[in-house]
Structure 1
Amino acid sequence: MERTERQRRNHPPYRSAAPSDSAGSSTSTSRRSYSNRSRNTDYKHSKYNTNGNLSFEDDADWRSRRSSDSKIYLQKLEAKEDDVGHDGRSHFDLPPVLVGTCPSMCPEAERAQRERLRDLAIFERLHGNPRKTSPDLAVKKFCRTMVAKSDQALDVRPLPVLEKTLKYVLSFLDTKEQPFEVIHDFVFDRTRSIRQDLSVQNIVNEKAIYMYEEMVRFHVTSHQKLLNGDSNSNASSMHHLNMQQLSKALITLLNLYEINRTNGAIFENEAEFHSLYVLLHLDSNSQATGEPLTLWFRTLRSPAIKSKEMCFARTILRYFRMCNYKGFLCTIGAEASNLQYCILEPYVNEIRALALSYINNGGYKLHPYPLVDLSMLLMMEESEVESFCKACGLVTSGDELGNMSLPTKQTTFSCPKGAFQRCSFVKLK
C-alpha cells in the first residue's frame, strides 16, 4: 500500500480537464486565425482608401517601416535594371568594395576597341573620322554585360568623372546641328552608362541625387519632344524606351531621397519630382509606374503631401478622372511647371476633345458657339480652334461679318485616332 501511495503521488492520475486544455489551445489558434483575418481585411480596405480627409500620418508604424525598408526597396528596384550581376543580385546588394579609377569619360581599352570596330557616335568622331576619337570626345557606352568585367577598376569611372561626363553629355541637348532623335539616342545611352557606374560603386549620396535629378529631367523633356516629333515607328520605339528609363530613374531618385534623409525635411526639388510620379499615373488605363498610387500616398511624409507641387498633382488627378475639363485646363495654366507640363501635354488635347464633345452635344442647335469663346475655354489660339474642330469631325461656319462659330448637335464628332496635332496653350490673363 505504501508503494501504491508513492506511485500515486509521483504519477498523478490523468485529469479529465485535459481535453478542455486541448480545446483551449484550439480556441486560441482559432482566435489567432480570426485576428489575422481581421488584420488582413482591415489592410485590404485601408490600402484602397481614397478618402482625402484621411491623414497618412495617422499610421503609427509607417515611418519605421519606410525607414527600415527604404534601402531594401531601392535594392529590389535596382535589381530590375539591366545592370545586375551574374548571381541575380543588384549592385546595391553588394558591398561597395569597387571604387572606379578610370580618369576619362571612356576607358582606354573600350575607346581603342570602338575605334577598330568603327563604333563611334557622330559626336565622338575626331574631325568626322568614324575610326578616330579622343579622350575629350569618347564617352563610355552602356553595356549589358558590363558586370562581367566590373572587377576592373580602370573600367569604372569615379564620382567626379561621372559628374563631368553627365555635364558634357547633357550639353548636346542645346545643339541644333543634328535632329533631336539623333541627340536623344546618344544622350539616352550614355546616361544609362552613368547610372550603371553609379550602381556598380553603390554611390547613393546627395551628389547622386543631383545627377539623377538631371537625368530624370532629360527623360521628361524627351517625353514631350518625342511625342511631338515625327510619328514614325523609330520615334515611337524611342518614346517607349524613354518612358521605361524615365520610370526606373524616377523611382530610384525618390528612394535616394529617403535614404539620404536625416532630419525629416524634404530636399529642394523633391516635391516636384514626387508630383511627376503622380502625373505619370494620370491615366488609370495606362501602364502603371511602380506601386499603385493608393499605396504609394501612404508612404509619403507630411511635408511632401502638403507641398504646392503635390497639391497641384492631386488636383489635376482628380479633375482628369472626373472629366472636369475647365478645372483641368485652368489649373494647368495657372500652376504647372515646365516639367509638369511636359508630362501633361499629351492629355491637354484629349481633354479639349472631351470639352468639344460636351459643347457639341449640350448646345442649342439654333445658337452656334462662337470660336472666340471656344478658344478661351480650350485655352488655345483662335486660329487653331477651327483646325482642331475639323480634326474632331466638326465643321465650322461664318456669318456675314466674318465671325466664325461652331454649329452644335453635329452627329459627325469623333475623337481623332492616334496622336493629336500639337496646339499652343494660351494662359488666361
Structure 2
Amino acid sequence: MSGSILGRCSSMCPDKERRFREKEGLLHPFEIVESQKNVKKPEADPQKIIKCYSRSGAGKSMVHDLTQLRPGPVLLSTLRYLFTQIVTRSDVDWAVIYNFVFDRLRAVRQDLIIQRLDVSTTIKILEPIVRFHVYAAQRLCDRSLEDFVPKFNNQHLLECIKELLVKYDERDLESSNLFCSNRAQIETLYLLLYLGESATIERALKLPAEYRKSPTMKMAVKISLAWYVRNYVQVCRAIVKLPPLLAMAAMINLPRIRRDTLQVMSSAYNSTQLCYSGEDLRKLLLYKSTEQLHAECRNFGLDIINENICFQKCKFKVHEREGKLQKAFPDEMLHLFLPKIILN
C-alpha cells in the first residue's frame, strides 16, 4: 500500500520492551517464566510476553523505530495466541483474563493503525476483536466496575465494528459480489447492537442481496424494526431464538428494553386496584428470577403486591437509570463457546 509503514518486530513483544519491563518488574503473571513465579523480578517467557498498550506522548512519534512495530502476520499470530491460550483458561478469574487481553488488543490495534495495513489484513484482525468485546459484555455483565467497565468495553466495540464496516465497504470497491460469511455475521451484530437506530437499519437494507437474504439478518432486521415501533414483546421473543453470539449482542440492549417496557406498561396498565402477573412479566422480559424482576420494578418506583406488579403511571420514575445487564448464559456454557465463538 502506498505510504504504508512496515514493522520489523518478528515476535509478540519487541526485545526493547521485554528488557525494560523485566528490569522494572512490569511483567504480567501470564508472561513470566513458569519456574520464576515467586521471584521478585522474574524473566519474561519469550513465547508468552506480549506488547502492552502505551499512549503516544506529546511530540513523540510512534513510528521512529520500526523494530517496535509488529507486521500483519505477527499481529494475527498474537491474536490467535490470545484467543486460544489466554481467554480459554479456566484456572484464573476471567475478569483478570479480560483486562490483560483488553490491553494487549489495544496494542494490536495501535500497531495496525500506525502501519495502515491492507484491507484484508485489517478485516482479519478486527473481526475476532469485535466478537471478543461482544462476548465480554455478557461474560462480565454481573461484575463490579472495579473488574469490568461496560462503558469502556462498548466504546472499543463501537470503534472496532465501525472501522470494520468501513473496510468492508472499501473491499466492495475492489471486488464486488464477494460474499463472506464472517461479514454477514458482523453486519448482523452491528444491527443487533444498535437496535432501532435508523442508520443501522438503513445500512442493513442497502447491503448486497446475498447478505440481506441471510436468515439471521432477516431476523435481526425484524427485531430492530420491532424495537423501532416499540413492540418490545416481539423483540424479547425473537432474541432468545438467535444463535449465541448474536443473542449476546442483542442482550446488550436488554436493560433499555426492560426500562422502556415497564414505562409503557405503567401507562397501559395504570390502575390502583389491579396488578399484572409477576411470573408472566418475568418470562416476557427474560428475567432469570422473580427476585431480579422485583428489584428492578422497585428501582423504577413500582409496587409489588403478592409477587405481582402494580403499574401506576404517576409512580414510575421516568428519569431513573436503566438497570444492569443480567447474565443470560451460565459461565459453564459461556466457557464452552470459546474459542470457536471468537475465532469463528
**Normalised TM-score (structure 2):** 0.76
In structure 2, the partner of 1:68 is none
**Alpha-carbon distance, 1:218 to partner:** 1.2
Given that 1:107 and 1:155 are in contact with CA atoms closer than 8 Å, whether structure 2 keeps it comes out as yes
Distance 1:386 1:340, change over 3 A: same
In structure 2, the partner of 1:265 is 178
Structure 1: state its 5+ residue gaps: 1-91, 399-403
Given that 1:394 and 1:410 are in contact with CA atoms closer than 8 Å, whether structure 2 keeps it comes out as no
1:248 has 2:156 as partner: no
1:337 has 2:247 as partner: no
In structure 2, the partner of 1:386 is 294
Which of these residues, 13, 21, 26, is aligned with residue 106 of structure 1?
Answer: 13
**Alpha-carbon distance, 1:300 to partner:** 3.0
**SS of 1:406 mapped into structure 2:** strand
Distance 1:365 1:424, change over 3 A: farther
Equivalenced residue count is: 318
**SS of 2:157 mapped into structure 1:** helix
Distance 2:268 2:142 in 1: 32
**Alpha-carbon distance, 1:269 to partner:** 1.6
What code does the residue aligned with 1:395 have?
D
Which of these residues, 171, 178, 194, is aligned with residue 281 of structure 1?
Answer: 194
**Alpha-carbon distance, 1:257 to partner:** 2.9
1:49-198 correspondence to structure 2 within 5 Å: 94-96=2-4, 98=6, 100-126=7-33, 127-128=36-37, 129=39, 131=41, 132-145=43-56, 148=61, 150=63, 152-170=65-83, 171-198=85-112
Given that 2:31 and 2:44 are in contact with CA atoms closer than 8 Å, whether structure 1 keeps it comes out as yes
Q: Deviations over 1:188-231 (max 9, x none)?
A: 22112223333444433545433321111112223334543214
**SS of 1:368 mapped into structure 2:** coil
**Alpha-carbon distance, 1:263 to partner:** 4.8
Distance 2:73 2:256 in 1: 44
Distance 1:319 1:383, change over 3 A: same
Given that 1:353 and 1:415 are in contact with CA atoms closer than 8 Å, whether structure 2 keeps it comes out as no
Which of these residues, 106, 125, 128, is aligned with residue 211 of structure 1?
Answer: 125
1:324 has 2:324 as partner: no
Distance 1:265 1:375 in 2: 44
Distance 1:103 1:380 in 2: 49
Q: Deviations over 1:100-158 (max 9, x none)?
A: 44332111122112222222223223333463212122111233449836364433333
Distance 1:424 1:405, change over 3 A: farther
Given that 1:361 and 1:408 are in contact with CA atoms closer than 8 Å, whether structure 2 keeps it comes out as yes
Q: Deviations over 1:215-263 (max 9, x none)?
A: 111122233345432145x744xx3333332222212222333444535
**Alpha-carbon distance, 1:392 to partner:** 3.0
Q: Which has the higher contact order (CA 8 A, sep 6+)?
A: 2
Q: Deviations over 1:141-181 (max 9, x none)?
A: 23344983636443333333322211222332233444444
Moved more, 160-169 or 197-206: 197-206
1:417 has 2:331 as partner: no
Distance 1:206 1:190, change over 3 A: same
How large is the Cα RMSD of the aligned pairs? Answer: 3.4
What code does the residue aligned with 2:278 have?
L
Which of these residues, 216, 221, 226, is aligned with residue 309 of structure 1?
Answer: 216
Distance 1:423 1:201 in 2: 39
Given that 1:323 and 1:351 are in contact with CA atoms closer than 8 Å, whether structure 2 keeps it comes out as no
Structure 2: state its 5+ residue gaps: 330-344
Distance 1:381 1:103, change over 3 A: closer
What code does the residue aligned with 2:112 have?
L
What code does the residue aligned with 1:242 have?
N
**SS of 2:61 mapped into structure 1:** helix
Distance 1:382 1:253 in 2: 37
Distance 1:343 1:278 in 2: 9
Given that 2:70 and 2:111 are in contact with CA atoms closer than 8 Å, whether structure 1 keeps it comes out as yes
Distance 1:356 1:294, change over 3 A: closer
What code does the residue aligned with 1:396 have?
I
**Alpha-carbon distance, 1:333 to partner:** 1.9
**SS of 1:396 mapped into structure 2:** strand
